[in-house]
Amino acid sequence: MSVSKSFVCINRKAPYGTIYALEALEVVLIAGAFEQQVKLIFMDDGVYQLTRNQNPAGIGMKNFSKTFGALSDYDVDQIFVDSESLNLRGLDATDLQRLTHETNDAEERLSIKVVPRKELVDIIESADVLFNF
Amino acid sequence: MLFGVQYWPRIYCKLSSLKSLLRLYCFFLYFHWRMKFTIQINTGPYTHQASDTAYHFTRAALKAGHTIHRIFFYHDGVNNSSIFNVPPRDERNIQQLWSTLAEENSLDMVVCAASAQRRGILDQKEADRHAKPAANIAPNFAISGLGQLIEAAIVSDRLLIFGD
């Protein structure tokens, strides 16, 4: 399909407790497979989805956080994290996974950007299709 | 003499042409401004009103001449497609409402495959494959993948999401 739209997916829920975080990742991967421009926003409890060293074995859940590493294979390399949400939860960028992607000249870049909430407004406004999980 | 009364006819002329232009524009909008919608339903029947609201929206949109490209049942929304739902006789049967609407308007109603399997919504092929005693997907619903949602979002003017 030649049409390319701007997809923005807002993730607001903790990784476990509801199925939404897992499903959001599915939607994003498929949108990436359709060669759409996909941006991800993590805010509120959604910031927990990106934390390192998750171990949900105690609640009988599968750790799906490693799947975020596959996002760059689908050219999903613009991930925005709301700094206020991080601060409120006593987290900072070092608590998050180190996700990278390669630029056209084979340079390694970080995919995750911690941004103030104000900047998220423009990203959301630029979306053709908005998913809110 | 009222100020500028000699210009009234001219002003009236201008106004009336503006009016007719506006009327033409409304006419154009009414007959040409048609949208292509895709509906996504995330919640099951009866607990929340989301599926009912989506149903009424779909009917109203069709009546107004818009196109419904696809209706996509996701998460608990897949439960709308079970033919085993038996609500009391004096209540609406949401699955039947959807099936009938789809029948009458040749709607494309897709149930997310992964969500459906988790929640026990099976067509005959899947029921046989997993050795289950029966299939339960209602007429005019089809089980398919998330790609159908993304494709619909790409080709539609608007994607409307009902439910959590």
Which residues of chain B have a CB within 8 Å of the CB of A30? 145-147, 149-150
Q: What is the C-alpha to C-alpha distance for residues A87 and B141, in angstroms, rounded to an integer?
A: 45
- List pLDDT tens digits, range A74-127: 999 999 999 999 999 999 999 999 999 998 888 999 999 999 999 999 999 999
Domains of chain B are 34-85+93-162 (3.40.1260.10)
Q: What is the C-alpha to C-alpha distance for residues B98 and B78, in angstroms, rounded to an integer?
A: 12
Q: List b or e across A102-114, with b for residues whose CB sees 16 or more CB atoms inside 10 angstroms.
A: eeeeeeeeebbeb
Q: Which residues of A touch B (CB under 8 A)?
A: 1, 3, 5, 7, 19-20, 23, 26-27, 30-31, 33-34, 36, 129, 131-132
- List pLDDT tens digits, range B83-119: 999 999 999 999 999 999 999 999 999 999 999 999 9
- Residue A76 belongs to some domain of the structure: yes
Q: Which range marks the domain in which residue A17 is found?
A: 6-132
Q: What is the pLDDT of residue B25?
A: 77
Which residues of chain A have a CB within 8 Å of the CB of B149? 27, 30
- Residue A1 belongs to some domain of the structure: no
Q: β-strand A108-110 against A100-102: which pairing, if any?
A: antiparallel
Mean pLDDT for chain A overall: 95
C-beta atoms of A34 and B151 within 8 A? yes
Query: Which residue positions in chain B have pLDDT lower than 50?
Result: 1
Q: What is the pLDDT of residue B21?
A: 81
Q: Is B110 exposed, middle or buried (0-12, 13-18, 19+ CB in 10 A)?
A: buried
CATH number at residue A107: 3.40.1260.10
Supply the ipTM of this predicted assembly: 0.86
Domain count, chain A: 1
- Residue A58 belongs to some domain of the structure: yes
Place of tokens 């009236």: B12
- Residue A12 belongs to some domain of the structure: yes
Longest dimension (CA), chain B: 94
